[in-house]
Amino acid sequence: MKRLILLGASGSIGTQTLDVIRMHPDKFMLTAFGVGRNIDMFRRIQAEFPVSEATVEREEDAVLLRQEYPHMTILSGEEGMCSLAERRDYDILVNALVGFAGFLPTWHAIRSDHDVALANKETLVVGGELIDQALREHGRKLLPIDSEHSAIFQCLQGNQTSQVKRLIITASGGSFRRLSRDELRDVTVEQALAHPNWNMGAKITIDSATMMNKGFEVMEAHWLFGLPYEQIDVLMHPESIVHSMVEYRDHSVMAQLGNPDMRLPIQYALSWPDRFELEQEKPLDLAAVGSLHFSAPDTRRYPLLGLAYETAKKGGTLPAVLNGANEVANLAFREKEISFLDIEDILVRAVFRAGKKEVHDVQDLLDADAWGRGYADYLIRGTKQ
């Protein structure tokens, strides 16, 4: 029986993690959980998976919930999440948070000797270097939930990373993959939110449309699997059936395939090295799919992919700046303050303007994140005038 703490329980990955627990009540047990502002969801989770401790985003919600659940310990804010991550009585933290907010809970979980099943790629984009060090020092593991990284992780089983020639991360191209750059000028949030293959949260669906998500996944792969950026490639694959591949030094290419269903990578992260049953309405039927397509990514069409590689190779605090600016620009687009192409413009300018510093401690990351957010804010106010 694995005891889990689930942060981000009311989001897309969070609710699918609850599904996995529901399917295997004899294998997984929820020990504590955290939600944001969805208090209704808090009540539903507590009714189905009663725990003694939980956390919410706002203290005002925690005050009300403490009256409603007098026997529970109810925490709030960043402190609440970090305090859950530091508990002794659990096996894996499932980090299903969105954005840089996911970094500190991961950090505290590892440093209090826990493994983390990670859906929050921003943790590694921003703080890969520090997380990597902490994992080594504490002899802990990160188990990938991101579908591409789960695929690579699966293809690496029984093999050695030292024999890998390259990782091939597949990319669907997002909601606008059929549009030219000219046609991107007037696209709307509603159009961007309709991802063709995956059912995901709003922030990541926009990141998929700009390909910022794929750029972040390249950085995530670098930190998870310890390979240099020269050995990590992106390949366009509109059907999202091949979830990623590993090419070995003898040119043998291993791929992991399946219908897009996030419950599989979630479950594998929790069951590894074992595999459990997973009920699917329609398991992959390649005869019905018929054909799969692949092509090289066009970095002029998707400039943020190129920017991500450049930023990643320079390293230091620059990825934290890029991520901070992206969180602000992504939200501003969703709130209709800026156009789709403004996102790219803001990110390119933020990274160009930022001075690179080395990362010595968490404060360096917090400072770079704040700088990226502040600069994006400034650019957005400028474009509105």
Query: Quick one: 84 or 200, whose CB is closer to Mg ion?
Result: 200
**Alpha-carbon span 332 to 316, nearest angstrom:** 26
Minimum Å distance from CB 215 to Mg ion? 12
Query: Quick one: 146 or 344, whose CB is closer to Mg ion?
Result: 146
- The type of residue at 372 is G
Minimum Å distance from CB 267 to Mg ion? 16
**Alpha-carbon span 304 to 326, nearest angstrom:** 10
| Interface with Mg ion, residue 122, by CB under 5 A | no
Minimum Å distance from CB 299 to Mg ion? 19
Report the DSSP beta bridge partners of residue 30.
4
Q: Which of residues 137-156 bind Mg ion (CB under 5 A)?
A: 146-148
Q: Which of 334, 7, 42 is nearest to 203 (CA)?
A: 334
The size of the interface with Mg ion (CB under 5 A), counted in residues, is 3
Minimum Å distance from CB 147 to Mg ion? 5
Minimum Å distance from CB 217 to Mg ion? 6
For Mg ion, which residue has the nearest CB?
146
DSSP for 346-366, please give it: HHHHHHHHSPP----SHHHHH
Query: Quick one: 35 or 152, whose CB is closer to Mg ion?
Result: 152
Q: Which of residues 42-71 bind Mg ion (CB under 5 A)?
A: none
Query: Quick one: 260 or 303, whose CB is closer to Mg ion?
Result: 260
Q: Which of residues 145-204 bind Mg ion (CB under 5 A)?
A: 146-148
Query: Quick one: 152 or 368, whose CB is closer to Mg ion?
Result: 152
Quick check: helix, strand or coil at residue 56? Answer: strand
Minimum Å distance from CB 214 to Mg ion? 8
Minimum Å distance from CB 36 to Mg ion? 21
Give φ, ψ of 144 to 5 degrees: -70, 135
- The type of residue at 158 is G
User: What count of residues does the chain have?
Assistant: 385
E strand or H helix that includes residue 68? helix 59-68
Query: Quick one: 170 or 311, whose CB is closer to Mg ion?
Result: 170
List the end-to-end C-alpha distance of the chain, in Å, as a whole number: 57
CA 86 to chain centroid = 21
Q: Which of 72, 42, 73, 68 is nearest to 57 (CA)?
A: 42
Query: Quick one: 201 or 315, whose CB is closer to Mg ion?
Result: 201
Minimum Å distance from CB 197 to Mg ion? 11
Q: Which two tokens stand for residue 157?
A: 């089983």
**Alpha-carbon span 357 to 72, nearest angstrom:** 43
Q: How many CA atoms lie within 13 A of 50 on its CB side?
A: 4
Minimum Å distance from CB 195 to Mg ion? 11
Query: Quick one: 57 or 148, whose CB is closer to Mg ion?
Result: 148
Query: Quick one: 177 or 353, whose CB is closer to Mg ion?
Result: 177
The strand order across the sheet containing 115-118 reads 73-76, 53-56, 28-34, 2-7, 92-95, 115-118, 142-144
Q: Tally Cβ neighbours within 10 Å of residue 369.
A: 23
Residues that bind Mg ion (CB under 5 A): 146-148
